[in-house]
Structure 1
Amino acid sequence: MSNETNHTTPESSSELLRATRRNALRGAGLAGMLALGGGSATASRNSSEANTQEAETETSAADESVPVTWENFPRSQIHLMMENIVEQGGFGEFYHFPTIVGPEVRIAALPNRDTIYSIGVFDLTEPVTITKPDTGDRHQSMVVMDEDAYVKEAYQDSGEYTLTQDGVGTRYVWVIVRTFVDPNDPDDVATVNELQDELAVRQNSAGAFEIPNWDRQAHDELFDALVTVMKTMEDFSGAIGDVGEVNPVKYLLGSVTPGGVPEPETIYLQRIPDQNDGDTPHTFTVQDVPVDGFWSVTVYNSDGFLEENEYDAYSFNNVTAEPNDDGSVTIHFGGDPDEPNFLYTPAEWFYVVRLYGPREEILDGSYQFPDAEPLE
């Protein structure tokens, strides 16, 4: 396997990943996704086309649709997410997003806009070795998931990591690399793109991609039902992890948005304000949030996705938010769009706070991140 890269322009990325229920992209997750490095653009494009053609040939083998139930939903979800990335060329190598995701990207519910994704699907009939580059002080995580949406590993450090079928437990593995970026700084985006190119993959053979012909209608119906309940979770503790580490109910609900970084590396807080009609302004103010990585807040619509709006106002983090004179940060949910750190709020909105690298004060509960309150 050559160390080639599959990048796309922002325009082509939007077209490739534009969501349709027919393609079952609603069920793909966060956020949380793609991956690898080296080689010319022409060479990488040819490599991606070859891998995709092989994968499409293999997936066409299944004719009868397989029913989707609560018991096998996590696997159907992961398979449909994998299929989407494979179609973009991320089979046997990484597919790199060129920048943060927008509302047109619906690979999975609750996408984050703090990192640039690199995602790859690998057939572990042959072991694969992934080299994660040294990113210095910049946050970069690599999450390894099996076909059942269990997180097998979450790597923060640079180095070589070899994945095997025995170790992962399933034939296919889904690898998500997230690299923190300041999307408002073109130079920083370019730096992250270079770091994406330093991701490298070694594998004797890419293998083939073959999944069941899942009943897409049943999958979508169950997805919608699970999202409705998932939004009531205040956090994702117990939802992300390996077999035996998770709460079975929260794991099932969390499988609508798989691929998160497990605790204690990351804490996810989810809140639905009582007055989330889209017209009632809310705010919160934070200062000195005890994290070693970063904190962020993102607003989602009732389906768990970004709601396109004229202000392009979806999220802020401790780098992109404008501070107050005392160094604190006030986030404005709805209301006057001219306010600093304004976030658009559609009807039935909710939000997720991400705490990357939480310190002990967060983990032991002595620090509580504030909730958004209606503006008086």
Structure 2
Amino acid sequence: MLDASTQKMTRAYAAEVGRAAYVWGWPLVNMHNRRVFMEQLPEPGLLAGIVPAGPPGTIGMLRDYIRPEERIVACPNQDVVYGFGTLDARRGPSVVQVPDFGDRFWVYQVVNQRTDSFVQLGSMYGTKPGHYLLAPDGWDGEVPDSITGVFRYDTRVAVVIPRVFMDDTDADRQAVQPLVDQISVYPLDDYDGTTKVVDWGSVPSFGKEGSTGDQEETQWVDPNKFFEVFGEVLDEVPARPGEEGLYDWYRSVLTAADTHPVIAETLQQAALDANAVVSELFEFRNYGIPVAHHWTTQRSGAAFGTDYLSRTAVGKSNIFVNTANETTYYYQDLDSDGERLHGDNRYSVTFEARQIPPVRGFWSLTVYNKHHFFHPNELDRFSLGTKNKDLTYGSDGSLTLTVGGTAPTDPELLANWLPAPAEEFTVYLRAYWPDPTILDGSWAPPPVRRG
């Protein structure tokens, strides 16, 4: 029988397939590399003293908002107390603890290696306190009777990100800590039916704290090494129905590269070329669903399916978004005239009295620098919204937030002002547990006006 794997392949053909594979597989390789990195950690704790993390099968938790020095995940928010950790199917199931949050908003995001959600844990689901199991599809062990529910995933890698809302007050910082200390993820082998309490304020720190400088997100995908792990990643993420031919197509060039150095070289160059395509997707104005006044949004976050464009674009620009019913996101790079936002100017965003973002959770408007991270400033302020109790409203109930330029001298105006870097920046509106009028497009953000 003839061996089809030995068929001839031109460099031009291999390059075309290689570029497509890079754009398609970028988020999957990103997740693979995060898991490999987390394997170096000996126990749950903080990276550089600021980012929660732990070895696969566990998480770390914060007790306060994420700091602006963070560079592990782009577009963080300062409305919630975060946790973060990875899962590895080869290590078996993990237990995730859900305390009684009362009427406080919370949601646990858990996504597979495709960055698609496979759980429903949060305020919007009426989730009961208890212990839940996160188990690989192939695991056939016994589920303890005291486990409240089971969620399964079919990829090797998954990520767990608890989010717990917290007001920007000292009183609420104190109130949230006992709840946060009851949030934990650990291997099923360590489960004994009790609620484990972790003092997340005294966990170890790993690595040195970096400067806040002009830094991009940690580069989780190196185009020079992409095809060194892509075959392994295809094994880690099984083809969905209808994707089998796509997988065969990608594997054909990997097979050719194994025996033909010139094809291997071609694939490496294809990754470098395609990296420019992925880099363009970092800019919010280059993808998504257009909304009024130059805003864009998306509705497939954490439920991408075959929307490979959005999966890669979101992975590059702001990975680990929630599903639309959990959080709706609006992105803005431009002012109402279509000009790029720039910190030398001042802008205003006015929500009319009955047009303040309609949510059952919370909303916020955040400023990000050109790398989609916080801009360090003297006020230590990066967003405004539900968490802020000192916002000044108009006599008619409207709310005007200002962004950029010099700080207002009037205390009431200052309370509604967000500092911005003296260069290009982005504003980003979150609506957690959005009202149906947000989901159906009846509500949209107001324009960002210069001056």
- Normalised to the residue count of structure 2, the TM-score between the two structures is 0.61
Are the counterparts in 2 of residues 139 and 293 from structure 1 also a CA contact under 8 Å? yes
C-alpha deviation, 1:352, in angstroms = 0.6
Are the counterparts in 1 of residues 284 and 332 from structure 2 also a CA contact under 8 Å? no
Q: Mark the CA change 1:231 to 1:323 in structure 2 (over 3 Å): closer, same or farther.
A: farther
Q: Which of these residues, 349, 356, 366, is aligned with residue 425 of structure 2?
A: 349
Q: Which of these residues, 323, 329, 334, is aligned with residue 392 of structure 2?
A: 323
Map Cα deviations across residues 282-318 of structure 1 (whole Å, 9 max, x no partner). Answer: 1012244321111100011112111223332311112
C-alpha deviation, 1:182, in angstroms = 1.6
Q: Mark the CA change 1:231 to 1:278 in structure 2 (over 3 Å): closer, same or farther.
A: farther
Distance, in Å, in 1 between the alignment partners of 2:427 and 2:224 is 28
Residue number in structure 2 paired with 1:176:
161
Q: Mark the CA change 1:265 to 1:303 in structure 2 (over 3 Å): closer, same or farther.
A: same
Q: Which has the larger radius of gyration?
A: 2
Q: Mark the CA change 1:340 to 1:229 in structure 2 (over 3 Å): closer, same or farther.
A: closer
Map Cα deviations across residues 75-118 of structure 1 (whole Å, 9 max, x no partner). Answer: 22223444555534512322012311222001111111111101
Q: Secondary structure at the match of 1:122?
A: strand
Query: Which residue identity does 2:401 align to in structure 1?
Result: I
Number of residues of Structure 1 aligned to a counterpart in Structure 2: 302
Distance, in Å, in 1 between the alignment partners of 2:25 and 2:99 is 35
Distance, in Å, in 1 between the alignment partners of 2:221 and 2:341 is 35
Q: Secondary structure at the match of 1:267?
A: strand
Higher-helix-fraction structure: 2
Q: Give the root-mean-square deviation of aligned CA atoms.
A: 2.8
Over the matched positions of the two proteins, sequence identity in percent amounts to 26
5 Å-filtered alignment, 1:209-248, equals 215=222, 224-228=279-283, 232-233=287-288, 234-242=295-303, 244=305, 247-248=307-308
Moved over 4 A (4+): 83-86, 216-223, 229-232
Query: Which residue identity does 2:430 align to in structure 1?
Result: R
Residue number in structure 2 paired with 1:129:
95
Are the counterparts in 1 of residues 97 and 183 from structure 2 also a CA contact under 8 Å? yes
Distance, in Å, in 2 between the alignment partners of 1:215 and 1:90 is 23
| Structure 1 stretches lacking a partner, 5+ long | 1-66, 207-212
Map Cα deviations across residues 208-240 of structure 1 (whole Å, 9 max, x no partner). Answer: xxxxx9647667956644313666534442441
Distance, in Å, in 2 between the alignment partners of 1:182 and 1:85 is 30
Q: Which of these residues, 175, 179, 185, is aligned with residue 195 of structure 1?
A: 179
Residue number in structure 1 paired with 2:437:
361
Distance, in Å, in 2 between the alignment partners of 1:236 and 1:251 is 13
Indicate yes or no: 2:326 matched with 1:265.
yes
Q: Mark the CA change 1:230 to 1:289 in structure 2 (over 3 Å): closer, same or farther.
A: closer
Are the counterparts in 1 of residues 68 and 376 from structure 2 also a CA contact under 8 Å? yes
Distance, in Å, in 2 between the alignment partners of 1:324 and 1:358 is 22
Q: Which of these residues, 274, 298, 303, is aligned with residue 366 of structure 2?
A: 298
Query: Which residue identity does 2:373 align to in structure 1?
Result: F
Q: Mark the CA change 1:119 to 1:146 in structure 2 (over 3 Å): closer, same or farther.
A: same
Q: Mark the CA change 1:267 to 1:121 in structure 2 (over 3 Å): closer, same or farther.
A: same
C-alpha deviation, 1:361, in angstroms = 2.1
Distance, in Å, in 1 between the alignment partners of 2:327 and 2:446 is 17
| Structure 2 stretches lacking a partner, 5+ long | 1-18, 42-46, 48-52, 138-151, 191-219, 227-271, 289-294, 409-413
Residue number in structure 1 paired with 2:77:
112
